[in-house]
Amino acid sequence: MVGCCFSCSLWFLLCLAALFIVSSESALNRYQFDVQVKNVSRLCHAKPIVTVNGRFPGPTIYAREGDRVVVNVTNYAQYNLSIHWHGLKQFRNGWADGPAYITQCPIQSGRSYVYDFNVTDQRGTLWWHAHILWLRATVHGAIVVMPKRGVPYPFPQPDAELNIVLGEWWHKDVEVIESQANSLGVPPSLSDAHTINGKPGPLFPCSEKHTYAMEVESNKTYMLRIISAALNDQLFFNIAGHNMTVVEIDAVYCRPFSTHALLLAPGQTTNVLVRTNQVPGRYFVAAKPFMDVPIPVDNKTATGILQYKGVPNSVVPSMPPLLSKNDVGFVKSFNDKLRSLNSPQFPANVPLQIDRHLFFTVGLGRDPCPTCLNGTRFIGAINNITFTLPTVALLQAHYSRISGVFTRDFPDRPPTVFNFTGAPLKANLGTKVGTRLSWIPFNSTVELVLQGTNLVGVESHPFHLHGYNFFIVGRGIGNFDPDKDPASFNLIDPPERNTIAVPTGGWTAIRFRANNPGVWFMHCHLEVHTTWGLSTAFLVENGDRPEDSLLPPPMDLPPC
């Protein structure tokens, strides 16, 4: 009896140990996402919003590099929707990427879909969000990918970590706002508040319950994982009395630098280290918009509180110096400091030989619209093409060779050359509507210059590419000069990310290797511009080997 117990428990322990060894290799992380409508109150108003598991922001996905993540999404809301895992590369597995009508049809009300993916060769802070209509306003949350077990960060280990999700809040139902604006052809109403972890803070009415506070201990190092889930506003972020050391952008380690403020475009993430070495007190954390042209913007400041342990709530927090909304000087110097870490362990593998040079004009225009308020409506266009979503998912059409859904003739350059950033032309250049994809052979190296245009005005467009990170090798104001500008490209340690703001009235050059087969959406991450068609997609072909080919679709892929 005793012997049996002994040997049984020995076996049990051995099994446990074996399990642990296996799980330390790679683990399976399962989540259940119930998409449901919940009544939420902010700024003295209550309204029903679409949430995941009733939470706003939604739950955080935790995984380690190399893990498998399985998220069963069940849709109890009245809208059909899909979820995108922003910044996860989804190697060969576009089926789990999520943009509606690009890689999948949306999950219908009452149905489920399982997103099943591996987190390969990346670690850091990313986020997930609904990828249809404007639902991502409330349907979003953090993704934290830890390094593999036993692998340290390439910077001093923080004592603790906190997630900070920045957002935008509307009193009205965002879907009503979006559809009204679309039918009138005018820009939608501005948000009513910005939020920090879902809360606007004490500069707004009814703030008692709606202020995010993080309690910290003195003389510790905190890592803040900051995510911009804002819809339409680029946001400055700073903390009274504390500098931040930037160590990671878009889940890529970067060369550390110290700064008093950050800028995050919608879609971007930034990890910073903060040393709590100030007089114990209460310090405001602030998020407010950056807008460097006379376009209306929600200029309100969201605040949270960094609170040292033991300091009573009666202490009035100090406010950080707020940047003015058009502080282009700060933005330029901040961007100049962003570099890849480019260490032996985390090299910057910038493509040096380029197979394909693309030049895309990106901007807004105006099209005739007899039923609209001014007889015109705003449109977005890339190389004069306004993207229209198909009614069948592009990836499915590509995989199953369904014809008539898209063409693969998206032009490598605009149809006409003009002074792209000169005086506004007040209209457009005969924009064509279409679902045209840029066709890229497997493993080609691509250089893409995103050139802002001034048709109805300039502004900064934050472009996001699905399925890839890219290197930002150059940027400038005015028109890109293919003869001169490449000479100043940074091919050594350019920043690597998945979302980049093209400067107002300027250009940005990015490079990537097209080694991930599938259909990958690329769009302005200002939701208002995505709605207007400021997007396109790449069709990256399979390679010759099976391991370089798109995986087959899962059985439960939602039907249209």
Q: Which DSSP helix (H) or strand (E) runs through 406?
A: none
Residue 474 binds to ligand C2O (criterion: CB under 6 A): no
CB of 515 to ligand C2O, least distance (A): 20
Stretch that binds ligand C2O, among 252-260, 347-355, 356-364, 520-528 (CB under 6 A): 520-528
For every residue of 171-213, DSSP letters joined together read SS-HHHHHHHHHHHTSPPPPPSEEEETTB--TTSTT-TT---E
For ligand C2O, the closer CB: 366 or 464: 464
- C-alpha dihedral (375, 377, 383, 388), degrees to nearest 10: -120
Phi first, then psi: give them for residue 548, nearest 5 degrees.
Answer: -110, 25
Q: Distance between CA 377 and CA 152 in Å, rounded?
A: 52
- Report residue 370 as tokens: 């007899």
Q: Distance between CA 213 and CA 199 in Å, rounded?
A: 10
Q: Distance between CA 157 and CA 59 in Å, rounded?
A: 25
Would you give the distance in Å from CA 560 to the centre of its chain? Answer: 26
Phi first, then psi: give them for residue 531, nearest 5 degrees.
Answer: -60, -35
Give residues with Cβ within 8 angstroms of 178, minimum separation 6: 133, 134, 188, 531
For ligand C2O, the closer CB: 103 or 421: 103
Among 64, 210, 225, 466, binds ligand C2O (CB under 6 A): 466
Residues between 7 and 26 that touch ligand C2O (CB under 6 A): none
Beta bridge partners of 193: 169
CB of 327 to ligand C2O, least distance (A): 25
Residue bearing tokens 């690597």: 496
Stretch that binds ligand C2O, among 15-23, 278-286, 344-352, 521-529 (CB under 6 A): 521-529
For ligand C2O, the closer CB: 242 or 525: 525
CB of 539 to ligand C2O, least distance (A): 16
Q: Distance between CA 556 and CA 560 in Å, rounded?
A: 12
Please count the other Cβ atoms lying within 10 Å of the Cβ belonging to residue 521: 28
For ligand C2O, the closer CB: 26 or 269: 269
Among 131, 288, 339, 436, binds ligand C2O (CB under 6 A): 131
- C-alpha dihedral (418, 530, 358, 543), degrees to nearest 10: -160
Among 42, 64, 84, 461, binds ligand C2O (CB under 6 A): 84
**Secondary structure class of 13 (helix, strand, coil):** helix
Burial class (CB in 10 A: 0-12, 13-18, 19+), 352: exposed
Among 123, 288, 523, 529, binds ligand C2O (CB under 6 A): 523
For ligand C2O, the closer CB: 242 or 523: 523
For every residue of 181-192, DSSP letters joined together read HHHHTSPPPPPS
Residue 529 binds to ligand C2O (criterion: CB under 6 A): no
Stretch that binds ligand C2O, among 67-75, 176-184, 384-392, 517-525 (CB under 6 A): 517-525
CB of 45 to ligand C2O, least distance (A): 27
Residue 464 binds to ligand C2O (criterion: CB under 6 A): yes
CB of 97 to ligand C2O, least distance (A): 9
Beta bridge partners of 215: 307
Q: Distance between CA 177 and CA 170 in Å, rounded?
A: 9
CB of 538 to ligand C2O, least distance (A): 13
Residue 99 binds to ligand C2O (criterion: CB under 6 A): yes
**Secondary structure class of 489 (helix, strand, coil):** coil
Phi first, then psi: give them for residue 349, nearest 5 degrees.
Answer: -85, 70
Q: How many residues bind ligand C2O (CB under 6 A)?
A: 11
Residue 398 binds to ligand C2O (criterion: CB under 6 A): no
For ligand C2O, the closer CB: 239 or 362: 362
CB of 335 to ligand C2O, least distance (A): 20
> What track of x and - describes contact with ligand C2O for positions 179 through 218 (by CB under 6 A)?
----------------------------------------
Among 42, 64, 123, 129, binds ligand C2O (CB under 6 A): 129
For ligand C2O, the closer CB: 84 or 288: 84
Between strands 432-434 and 385-387, the pairing is parallel
Q: Distance between CA 159 and CA 182 in Å, rounded?
A: 48
CB of 540 to ligand C2O, least distance (A): 16
Residues between 215 and 274 that touch ligand C2O (CB under 6 A): 267
Q: Which residue is nearest to ligand C2O (CB)?
A: 86
Judged by the rule CB under 6 A, the positions of this chain that interact with ligand C2O are: 84, 86, 99, 129, 131, 267, 464, 466, 521, 523, 525
